[in-house]
Amino acid sequence: MQRQPLPKQVDARKLCITNAEINATATVQQLGRFAEGLASSEGEVLAELKLFRGEQGFYRIDGHALAKVEVTCERCLTAMPIEVVSEFALAIVWTEEQAKALPKYLDAVILGEELLDLEELLQDELIISTPFVNYHDIADCKATGPTEYPAPEGAGSEEKSESPFSVLGSIKPRD
């Protein structure tokens, strides 16, 4: 299917009335807040959004996003590729009160007369769907390579506690 660059801002309620479908691509670099939690800002995001009027007249956005990105392995602190998959069912509402009254299977997007920022929406959904900690498969992890060398002292205890370098690892500049 033909994909377009992600439109930045859309008149969401109008698109719901016309049953719009958006098949778009975005770069991870475009999605700054999402990129912050990753090992690099390399990568691409594919997004499919369906906008329509649903039951009870709700203005709905159903979506699916797939991001191929790099995160930091918490064991060896090098980058590893993962796919972040996000599925969402949203309803556009005017107020906080309407948001609270939505059925459980719908998440609210509170939107006034302004345009909807699709980059913001997409990165919110991707951030929620990104695993908080990530590890290579044992066979691929640099920290658990061939064991011809004796394990360094204290290596065992390091496994159990949260690595003190995990934060450092995620902000380590990449070249």
Interface positions with Zn ion (CB under 5 A): 73, 75-76, 136, 141
Say how far apart CA 70 and CA 106 lie, in whole Å: 30
Residue 7, C-beta contacts closer than 8 angstroms, at least 6 positions apart? 22, 24, 118
**Cα R_g (the chain), whole angstroms:** 20
The single-letter code of the amino acid at 24 is: A
Cβ distance to Zn ion smaller for residue 30 or 72: 72
Cβ distance to Zn ion smaller for residue 60 or 75: 75
CB of 141 to Zn ion, least distance (A): 3
Among 29, 33, 41, 27, CA closest to 71: 41
CB of 78 to Zn ion, least distance (A): 6
CB of 38 to Zn ion, least distance (A): 15
Cβ distance to Zn ion smaller for residue 32 or 81: 81
Cβ distance to Zn ion smaller for residue 89 or 141: 141
φ and ψ at residue 3, rounded to 5 degrees:
-115, 150
φ and ψ at residue 34, rounded to 5 degrees:
-65, -45
Cβ distance to Zn ion smaller for residue 101 or 151: 151
The single-letter code of the amino acid at 97 is: E
Please say whether the beta carbons of 90 and 63 come within 8 A. yes
CB of 33 to Zn ion, least distance (A): 25
CB of 175 to Zn ion, least distance (A): 19
| The token pair that represents 23 in the structure block | 């098949």
